[in-house]
Amino acid sequence: METSCKDITKKNIQDDRNIEFHYNISNKGSISYRKRHHSSYEYHLEENFKKENLQEENLQEENLQEENFKKENMEEKFPRKICIMTSLSHIPIVLVKIIIEYDIHVIEGKFDFVINDSSYPASIYNFGTRILYNDHKNIIINSTNSKDYFHNYKKIPFTEIIRKIFMLSKTKIAIITLCEDIFLLNLENEIFTIIRKSIYYQYIKSLHILPNEQIIPIYYFSSSLEILDPQTGLQKSISHTSAITCITSFLDINNVIWIITGAYDQNVRVLNAETGFCDKTLVGHTEDISIVLNLSQTSLILSVGQGTIRIWDRITGICNHNIIAHQSKINCVLQIDNSQLITGSDDHTMKIWNFHTGICTFILSGHTLKIKHIELLPTKQIVSTSKDKQIKIWTIPKHISGLPKTLNSDLTFSHTNKINFLLPLTDGRLLTHSKDTKIIIWR
């Protein structure tokens, strides 16, 4: 027999049969009991149930205190003038123009525009002065080359739920649907063309776009490496002996396209995209490889395994540097210039490295949780996001020889929930999207 937790009240009732009820609380919150002879009804609740309630109350109180503390501190820095928009489609265009013309100050920082109805954008792109993103069954794009971005926009409807989109060029995008089909959309005539039907046992993790706009689908736990030509619909398979974890590509000075893969066998491979020939297999990692990167304007390749970085010479196949960069997993790597790169880790820090010497020059400290995204702004500043919901801007000075210098951020602002995307715009502003369903363009 079962009853709800809400129905339990402590009583002391005696009857002729002297029955005791022993209650056992299940994980679902329901209670079952059994009968025993005793002088009264006694209710025995499990100790862990009481502890969980107490911990939950303490956690809520701590979160409330933290939010109040942050609010008090931020109100000193920013004027409290908030503009809230529920949906772009419900606001007259005249009002939209007025909002964009004014600087809008909020507790988190400054922003030019916010959309609150973008609950499922799986991909956001900026090309020229236009923004492109997907929302459930629509491709959304601003219809004019306007720096207001969302001033004039249109929705291109689709028949299936869109999971991700990928830019092939300014006029063509690839689409992954929830059913694992791949479509090509021509933005000029708004025509959809299917280029690959789903295969029941293969689930697409991502698409990699080659320099010639051909597509490589990356599957979960699959060693399959196939190249799709969206123009002709032809498909080419390349032999690969282990499941692929990460991929990148580059065009060399002879206009030959090379594919670099990291795999579960802890090896890095360099493959010719045209012939499928494996030119190099780079062996040395002792963990699964999560990131591979071709360092542009050099003959170097970077690979990441957990918290370790290896710098390889792709001509000779020799490992120039084996660096224990972080004590925790590295989530993102970005090349800054011809000699520097930056890494972001689960240890809450970012580090800047000279990849020719293997020396750490700066440590960027300030985030309180895992680093998730790093981008380079047109001003050569670094912008980062973390699971702490914060966005930070960093200025990197010129390095002087010696021990790595610790840097603090120039500016901090935040969302109210996890940040999904970080996108520098061509005019110097910054676009972010969060799990709070907001797309915000920041000054």
State the CATH number of the domain containing residue 98: 2.130.10.10
Residues of the chain with pLDDT > 70, as a percent, come to: 70
Q: Is 269 part of a structural domain of the chain?
A: yes
> Residue 61: what pLDDT?
63
Question: Nearest-CA neighbor of 364 among 353, 355, 354?
Answer: 353
Residues 437 and 317 in one domain: yes
Phi, psi of 60 (to 5 degrees): -65, -40
> Residue 239: what pLDDT?
80
Reply yes or no on whether the pLDDT at 311 is more than 60: yes
Q: Is 320 part of a structural domain of the chain?
A: yes
Residues 106 and 35 in one domain: no
- Pairing of the two strands 405-407 and 359-364: parallel
Residues 9 and 152 in one domain: no
> What is the spatial distance between Cα 392 and Cα 384, in angstroms, rounded to a whole number?
5
Q: Is 25 part of a structural domain of the chain?
A: yes
pLDDT tens per residue across span 228-239: 998 887 888 888
> Residue 257: what pLDDT?
95
Reply yes or no on whether the pLDDT at 97 is more than 80: no
Residues 120 and 39 in one domain: no
Residues 10 and 141 in one domain: no
Question: Nearest-CA neighbor of 299 among 313, 311, 282?
Answer: 313
Q: Which domain holds residue 337?
A: 88-442
> Residue 66: what pLDDT?
56
Reply yes or no on whether the pLDDT at 212 is more than 70: yes
> Residue 36: what pLDDT?
39
Q: Which two tokens stand for residue 7?
A: 């129905």
> Residue 232: what pLDDT?
82
User: Mean pLDDT over all residues of the chain?
Assistant: 75
Residues 293 and 387 in one domain: yes
> What is the spatial distance between Cα 187 and Cα 169, in angstroms, rounded to a whole number?
10
> Residue 429: what pLDDT?
80
Reply yes or no on whether the pLDDT at 152 is more than 80: no
Q: Identify the band that residue 349 occupies on the pLDDT scale cut at 50, 70 and 90.
A: very high
DSSP 8-class letter at 29: S
> Residue 441: what pLDDT?
78
Q: Is 72 part of a structural domain of the chain?
A: no
Residues 133 and 195 in one domain: yes
More confident residue, 295 or 430: 295
3-state SS of the chain: helix, strand, coil percent to 5? Answer: 10, 45, 45
Residues 126 and 31 in one domain: no
Residues 12 and 135 in one domain: no
Q: Identify the band that residue 435 occupies on the pLDDT scale cut at 50, 70 and 90.
A: confident
Q: In which element (H, E) is residue 54 found?
A: helix 47-77
> Residue 188: what pLDDT?
87
Q: Is 184 part of a structural domain of the chain?
A: yes
Residues 188 and 248 in one domain: yes
> Residue 21: what pLDDT?
37
Residues 29 and 108 in one domain: no
Reply yes or no on whether the pLDDT at 334 is more than 80: yes
> Residue 114: what pLDDT?
56
Distances from the Cα of 345 to the Cα of 71, 359, 384, 419, 427, angstroms: 28, 17, 11, 16, 29
191-195, 373-377, 429-433, range with the lowest pLDDT: 429-433
> Residue 14: what pLDDT?
38
Please count the structural domains in the chain. 2
Q: Is 374 part of a structural domain of the chain?
A: yes
Supply angle C-alpha 353, 355, 358, rounded to 5. Answer: 75
> Residue 55: what pLDDT?
58
Q: Identify the band that residue 162 occupies on the pLDDT scale cut at 50, 70 and 90.
A: confident
Q: Tell whether the torsion through CA atoms of 205, 209, 210 and 215 is positive or negative.
A: positive
Q: Is 78 part of a structural domain of the chain?
A: no
> Residue 25: what pLDDT?
38
Distances from the Cα of 286 to the Cα of 302, 309, 341, 359, 403, angstroms: 15, 11, 22, 22, 28
Reply yes or no on whether the pLDDT at 187 is more than 90: no
Q: Is 250 part of a structural domain of the chain?
A: yes
pLDDT tens per residue across span 386-418: 999 899 999 998 877 778 899 999 888 888 888
Residues 13 and 129 in one domain: no
> Residue 375: what pLDDT?
92
Question: DSSP letters of 229-289?
Answer: -TTT--EEEE--SS-EEEEEEEE-TTS-EEEEEEETTSEEEEEETTT--EEEEEE--SS-E
Q: Which two tokens stand for residue 286?
A: 């002792």
